[in-house]
Amino acid sequence: MRQPRTYTRRTLLQQAVGAMALGVPALLRAAPPEILVGAIHPLTGPLAPDGHSVANGCLLAIEQKNAAGGIQALGGAKVRLINADHQFKPQVGAAEAERLIRQGAVALLGTFSSAVTMQTTQIAERHGVPHLVTVAVADEITERGFRYTFRVQPNATHMASQGVQYVRQLCTLKGVDFRTVAVLHENTFGAALYTRIAKFAPQHGFDIVGHIPYSARASDLTTEVSKIKAMDADLIFDSGYLNDGLLKMRTYRDLRVEPRGGIIGIANGCYSNPLFIKELGRVSEYIMDANYWHNPVSPFAREVIQQYEARFQAPFQSHTVWGYNATLVLLDALERAASTEPEKLREAIARTRLARHIAPGGPIVFDDKGQNVNATVTLQQIQNGAIRVVLPQAYADAEPVFPIPGWDKLKG
């Protein structure tokens, strides 16, 4: 950490003489202090590629703000991001939250894991430090009465309700009437998501014929995928992370799992990820995912993506959107609060009305639980090796191909 400037009597007198000539108090012309912000994400282990994409989204927003003059309401103070690695372990995340707060972080960003975020938000609440959730879907995160927790991304209820609704819209648009659904899901956040899928599916004319949970750390999913295949459902809904998603898709292919409607991700950490296409090529073609994404019709979003890829020499991911947006909220709140005092900063975040961001949907506005009421899910599909938005039509940059073609009909 940079050492604070030391002032002697002589230097203060010299500054005062110079400042008097300009009519400006010397101490106001001194270099402003740094504002420390902590970010907690998985930077090693199986979730590391995604964790880095979120952390880099946070960093880009901060670098842009600093380059534009810093926090003007605080005399041009620069913001410094301190990254921490939770290793996909809740206890490590909690310890890192404590450490960052001791170091002087005025706010926390994180964490790309609902289980870890449940812990880090609890630590932040205890210390009275604002915590902006970058990526973590579990509804429970904002349902514990915490005052200092805010989430910009869609929660599990948004993901399930909007995702299932889009699939029914697909059926209507394409003149098919699929009814039965089997669900294969990871057993932490995916289990919470499944309960909501089961709730909303009947409301849109779908019958859940069965669901199979699995561990994201599994090295083989043959048994689980075989059970899903045996259910012979019209559609498979699928939730999980990147590495387990790659394993599942290879297993679907090897076992020739071809539901009549296709395989559709719901809040899937793999199927809207450029690394999915890079790793599996044509096997990924036409797969769909109801998830968060950037706004493809927004010039601002396109500009940010271009800057991100030039800065980090890496593809922009859906997860990056929420690291960037959460940081925009914090920077905006620092300007409006004109203070790093926790309660003033918390109040400024609660009053957020941020229209200039890179996701679909209206301005970022938080309800009394800290959830962004305008968080919007989109339906993506991989077409010709690129991820495209197909619903809702207001944000679409491609027409949906549905039912999803079988393995023998893939291009490439």
Number of domains composing the chain = 2
> What residue numbers bound the domain in which 92 lies?
28-154+297-350
Res. 287: pLDDT tops 90? yes
**Residue 361 placed within a domain:** no
**Residue 243 placed within a domain:** yes
Are 313 and 238 members of one domain?
Answer: no
**Residue 128 placed within a domain:** yes
Cα–Cα distance, 231 to 158 (Å, whole number): 27
pLDDT at position 96: 98
Res. 315: pLDDT tops 50? yes
Cα–Cα distance, 204 to 78 (Å, whole number): 49
**Residue 309 placed within a domain:** yes
Are 149 and 191 members of one domain?
Answer: no
Banded pLDDT at 15 (limits 50, 70, 90) = very low
Are 109 and 236 members of one domain?
Answer: no
Are 250 and 197 members of one domain?
Answer: yes
Report which of residues 6 and 80 the model is more confident about.
Answer: 80
**Residue 7 placed within a domain:** no
Are 219 and 273 members of one domain?
Answer: yes
**Residue 314 placed within a domain:** yes
pLDDT tens-digit map of 206-259: 999 999 999 999 999 999 999 999 999 999 999 999 999 999 999 999 999 999
pLDDT tens-digit map of 147-182: 999 999 999 999 999 999 999 999 999 999 999 999
Are 269 and 165 members of one domain?
Answer: yes
Spatial CA neighbour of 372 closest among 338, 409, 321, 334: 321
Are 49 and 102 members of one domain?
Answer: yes
Are 81 and 116 members of one domain?
Answer: yes
Spatial CA neighbour of 360 closest among 403, 394, 410, 335: 394
Spatial CA neighbour of 285 closest among 168, 410, 377: 410
Q: What pTM was estimated for this model as a whole?
A: 0.87
User: Which CATH number do you get for residue 113?
Assistant: 3.40.50.2300
Are 200 and 281 members of one domain?
Answer: yes
Given 333, 350, 367, the domain boundary residue is 350
Are 271 and 400 members of one domain?
Answer: yes
**Residue 4 placed within a domain:** no
Res. 17: pLDDT tops 90? no
| R_g of the chain, CA atoms, integer Å | 23
Are 235 and 224 members of one domain?
Answer: yes
Asked if 322 contacts 296 with a C-beta cutoff of 8 angstroms, the reply is no
Residue 145: CA atoms inside 13 Å, Cβ hemisphere, count? 0
Given 350, 365, 394, the domain boundary residue is 350
Are 306 and 213 members of one domain?
Answer: no
